[in-house]
Structure 1
Amino acid sequence: MSANSPAATEKPSGFRIPKVPFWAQIVTGLVLGVLLGWLARSQDVSWLVTALDKIGSIFVQLLKLAVAPLVFFAILVSITNLRKVNNAARLATRTLMWFMITSLIAVVIGLAIGLLTNPGAGTGLTPKDGAKPEEAGTWLDFLTGIIPENVITPFTELNVLQIVFMAAVAGIAILKVGEKAKPILDLSESVLTLLQKALWWVIKLSPIGTVGLIGFAIATYGWDLIGKYATFTADIYIGCALVLFGVYPLLLATVAKVNPLQFFKGAWPAIQLAFVSRSSVGTMPITQKVTERLGVPKDYTSFAVPFGATTKMDGCAAIYPAIAAIFVAQIFDVQMGIKEYILIAFVSVVGSAATAGLTGATVMLTLTLSTLGLPMEGVGLLLAIDPILDMMRTATNVAGQAVTPILVAARENILDREKYASASSSLTDEPLDEPADDSADERQAVPVPA
């Protein structure tokens, strides 16, 4: 047999460990976390509770570590990227319009569910079980709190709203200065790329973080706490599910005229990470990547997704405060009428930026309660159950942050429908941390019909 024959040159195929899809890793983490949490609680294993707490806390801490600089540079770069898009003002206006439309639909669903189910009735909770939060959000605080006293404090105190304000000002200033500001813009884009790569390393730890977060929640709260809040918890999950699996698919099918099932296939990595991490901002790089995979032009996505990650909160800022306000009013025996329900809708549509993409929705809840004149002690009633609710709320938030750019892109005839139809749900076949190879000189403006 010749040395050059195919049989001689063929190498024996060695055993390869198959790649496990990211969704399967997350599901495995969820199951393992539930089992370990149940074991720690039923057998009273204190060291296991501590270990689960540390694992989950470290994961969340790593996510939060990147939040401040990521938000700043993502918003700054996203605003400057609008210079590459034709009719950028119209795209931005229509993005904001769809943010408001979907938020209004979500809050109406939340109000309807709350009025039908009476979540505060029969819980056994009383006003004495509540406690005032240390800080309460008001409209005055919201409006005046946008502008920071200095450029350092928003980063040290993680005030995302003020960071967004500074980034927007810096981005607009770079656009106005023009060519002289190009070195600053180039540096900002490089820093953003580095942050996204570092955050991707953290995201790879999500399955481990899932074990800690879910395990600690089960070990700490068990099922007894959920029993007291059974109707309220079910209301939040049902409301979010109706928006996530009902409203969004309906809009995609009727407005964008695309297959909703394909959306979930492409966007699922972002939705499942949002469910685990409870952070829209922490999920933002994946949300942006899956939105691009679904056919939305990159220059528009780089604006719409960071903007949505800090202002688009259908779960935390629409469904949740609507049902929570009804819950608190029933516990404290406060009657609400049409005026109060309209105020809830107004706060949800206009004030959602106060939530700012961080875990939890306490600021939005206090803003809603203060606007309605409801007792702030009601916040204390909901803090214990909040982590369990926040998972579904954040998943809904992130799905909406991906749906809106698709709707706008489809209406503006800039959606790549072939790319949308072929979007993959795998995180392993295309690394999300590697930016596309398009230089500023080679990138073309996105055509938008007049």
Structure 2
Amino acid sequence: MIGYVFLNIAIMIVLLGLLFYMNKKHISFTKRVFTALGLGIIFGLLLQYFYEPGSVAIVKSTDWFSIVGSGYVKFLQMIVMPLVFISILSAFTRLKLTSNIGKISVLIIGILLGTTAIAAAIGITSATVFDLEAVQIEQGDAETSRGAEITEKTGTIEDKMSMPQQIIELIPANPFLDLTGARSTSTISVVIFAAFLGIAYLGVKRKQPEHAEFFSKIVDALHSIIMRVVTLILRLTPYGILAIMTNTVATSGLGAILKLGKFVGASYVALIVMFLIHLLLLMIAGLNPITYLRKAFPVLSFAFTARSSAGALPMNIQTQKQLGVSEGIANFAGSFGLSIGQNGCAGIYPAMLAVMIAPTVGIDPLSPSFIATLILIVAISSFGVAGVGGGATFAAILVLSAMDLPVALAGLLISVEPLIDMGRTALNVSGSMTSGVLTSKITHDLDKEQYNETSVKLDTEM
């Protein structure tokens, strides 16, 4: 068996070498990402074909592959907080957010919440059209265990379910703790802290310009260093996607996916429809949706494979800049999108679950009052949803509890949860980028020439 593990590792090294060769030949970043995605799927399926599910060969092999895949995600997570902090602060020192920061924040949050409400309506429609009900799913040991775990978790977050408490959670009582990313709302808390420092800088600039100038030079230097680190990490994207996708496909339970294909299909129909609405909103704003799709493909591919909105933040911001969004707005949109209004995890998913579970307690999920209440609760509850694995579960607990529905049934889809979560995460990232682009367009800050530029570099070839 050890020999097979070595063989699998050798094949992975060859595939990584192929991506490196493509880079040396200056093949575009997007093509390398697409190639990595395809190779990961094929290699994962081959591992499934030649080995028994859960075999030692697959477990050991994917464990080694994780050095590349999980290691890449950790590098991205490492740079998230420094990137958010220094980018927001530099937006003030460079006089890019001084006059309309309030308007920008309101627009971004409004678009995020508005699209989440639309996503909830789409989730309700999809669950209804596909006639999804919780009673259709057989509960095994895994589902029962997951349900008990969710029920236990509900008690620990009930105090944070009210709107006032969710808003309070966004305020940074200890900014140094939030810089470590310890809380689900840490990213927004860091944004708030950086904004306070930026406003303070503007005050000092009027009264003590020499101190402000010195501080500005420090911020500019740190910004240059952080952005260089981001560039170095983004160069690793194709390699990370190859390893992550291979692991995901190789360890996915194909039997469970086939068994619950109806639920998976309904979820992806809803996700695709909501993504098309993102494109429609851009088109209404007078922007070419095909251009957005082409430039967004690398970051959406990463979000799909890694299932981490937070890990995708550096690429999210870089992509928005490629779309003509200013750095300040890009950072606000990307950061707010991690914890507010996630269209997939906080919109579609809890709405579909509520419609599926309602009949089990004698509630008609098609009654106008139920639908209106559900959409409103989904939108409000989307505050403070973590942009990492588990955020969808948190959102589901909030919504189901508020609707007086049994939260334990949220564990019924555990066997296909990773597959559905891939699409949800990609939609979350698209939602935050769409909010940034639309906000820039509304505030007349969008660089249309940059948006329409055909090349896609993401600053990875610097």
Structure 1 contact 240–315 (Cα < 8 Å) conserved:
yes
Alpha-carbon distance, 1:231 to partner: 2.0
Structure 1 contact 29–208 (Cα < 8 Å) conserved:
yes
Matching of residues 2-13 of structure 1 within 5 Å: none
- Give the helix-richer structure, 1 or 2: 2
Q: Matched residues in 2 for 1:79 and 1:322: separation?
A: 39
Partner of 2:312, secondary structure, is helix
Q: Matched residues in 1 for 2:220 and 2:393: separation?
A: 33
Q: Matched residues in 1 for 2:91 and 2:371: separation?
A: 35
Structure 1 spans left out of the alignment, 5+ residues: 1-15, 435-450
Matching of residues 197-276 of structure 1 within 5 Å: 197-244=228-275, 246-254=276-284, 256-276=285-305
Alpha-carbon distance, 1:143 to partner: 4.8
Q: Matched residues in 1 for 2:74 and 2:331: separation?
A: 25
Show the counterpart of 2:333: 304
Alpha-carbon distance, 1:318 to partner: 0.8
Pairing partner for 1:343 from 352, 363, 373? 373
Show the counterpart of 1:106: 119
Change in CA separation of 1:167 and 1:187 when aligned onto 2, cut-off 3 Å: farther
Show the counterpart of 2:5: none
1:337-376 per-residue CA deviation (whole Å, 9 max, x = no partner) reads: 4444333322332232322322342221221222122223
Show the counterpart of 1:431: 459
Q: Match for 1:63: what amino acid?
A: L
Partner of 1:374, secondary structure, is coil
Q: Does 1:354 align with 2:384?
A: yes
Structure 2 spans left out of the alignment, 5+ residues: 1-22
Alpha-carbon distance, 1:333 to partner: 7.0
Which deviates more from structure 2 when the two are superposed, residues 170-179 or residues 363-372?
Answer: 170-179
Show the counterpart of 2:351: 322
Show the counterpart of 1:28: 35
Q: Matched residues in 1 for 2:228 and 2:399: separation?
A: 37
Structure 1 contact 71–160 (Cα < 8 Å) conserved:
no
Q: State the TM-score, normalized to the length of structure 1.
A: 0.80
Alpha-carbon distance, 1:109 to partner: 0.9
Show the counterpart of 2:204: 178
1:9-42 per-residue CA deviation (whole Å, 9 max, x = no partner) reads: xxxxxxx953222233223323332333333333
Structure 1 contact 80–172 (Cα < 8 Å) conserved:
no
Structure 2 contact 300–426 (Cα < 8 Å) conserved:
yes
Partner of 2:325, secondary structure, is coil
Alpha-carbon distance, 1:184 to partner: 5.3
Q: Matched residues in 1 for 2:237 and 2:449: separation?
A: 31
Q: Percent identity?
A: 25
Show the counterpart of 1:278: 307
Pairing partner for 2:429 from 370, 389, 398? 398
Q: Match for 1:93: what amino acid?
A: V
Q: Matched residues in 2 for 1:382 and 1:118: separation?
A: 16
1:137-178 per-residue CA deviation (whole Å, 9 max, x = no partner) reads: 431564554456644544556314145225404422440443
Q: Matched residues in 1 for 2:169 and 2:179: separation?
A: 14
Change in CA separation of 1:184 and 1:113 when aligned onto 2, cut-off 3 Å: farther
Q: Match for 1:135: what amino acid?
A: K
Q: Does 1:385 align with 2:416?
A: yes
Q: Does 1:122 align with 2:150?
A: no
Q: Matched residues in 1 for 2:175 and 2:326: separation?
A: 33
Q: Matched residues in 2 for 1:53 and 1:102: separation?
A: 34
Q: State the TM-score, normalized to the length of structure 2.
A: 0.78
Change in CA separation of 1:189 and 1:296 when aligned onto 2, cut-off 3 Å: same
1:301-355 per-residue CA deviation (whole Å, 9 max, x = no partner) reads: 3433333344241122111221133234457776544444333322332232322
Change in CA separation of 1:231 and 1:184 when aligned onto 2, cut-off 3 Å: farther
Q: Matched residues in 2 for 1:345 and 1:289: separation?
A: 32
Partner of 1:266, secondary structure, is helix
Q: Match for 2:374: what amino acid?
A: I
Show the counterpart of 2:13: none
Once superposed, what is the RMSD of the aligned Cα atoms? 3.2
Partner of 1:158, secondary structure, is coil
Alpha-carbon distance, 1:241 to partner: 0.9
Structure 1 contact 80–171 (Cα < 8 Å) conserved:
no
Structure 2 contact 84–331 (Cα < 8 Å) conserved:
no
Change in CA separation of 1:195 and 1:233 when aligned onto 2, cut-off 3 Å: farther
Partner of 1:414, secondary structure, is coil
1:99-118 per-residue CA deviation (whole Å, 9 max, x = no partner) reads: 22222221111111112213
1:364-391 per-residue CA deviation (whole Å, 9 max, x = no partner) reads: 1221222122223233333443322222
Q: Match for 1:122: what amino acid?
A: Q
Q: Matched residues in 2 for 1:367 and 1:178: separation?
A: 43
Q: Does 1:135 align with 2:153?
A: yes
Change in CA separation of 1:304 and 1:54 when aligned onto 2, cut-off 3 Å: closer
Show the counterpart of 1:441: none
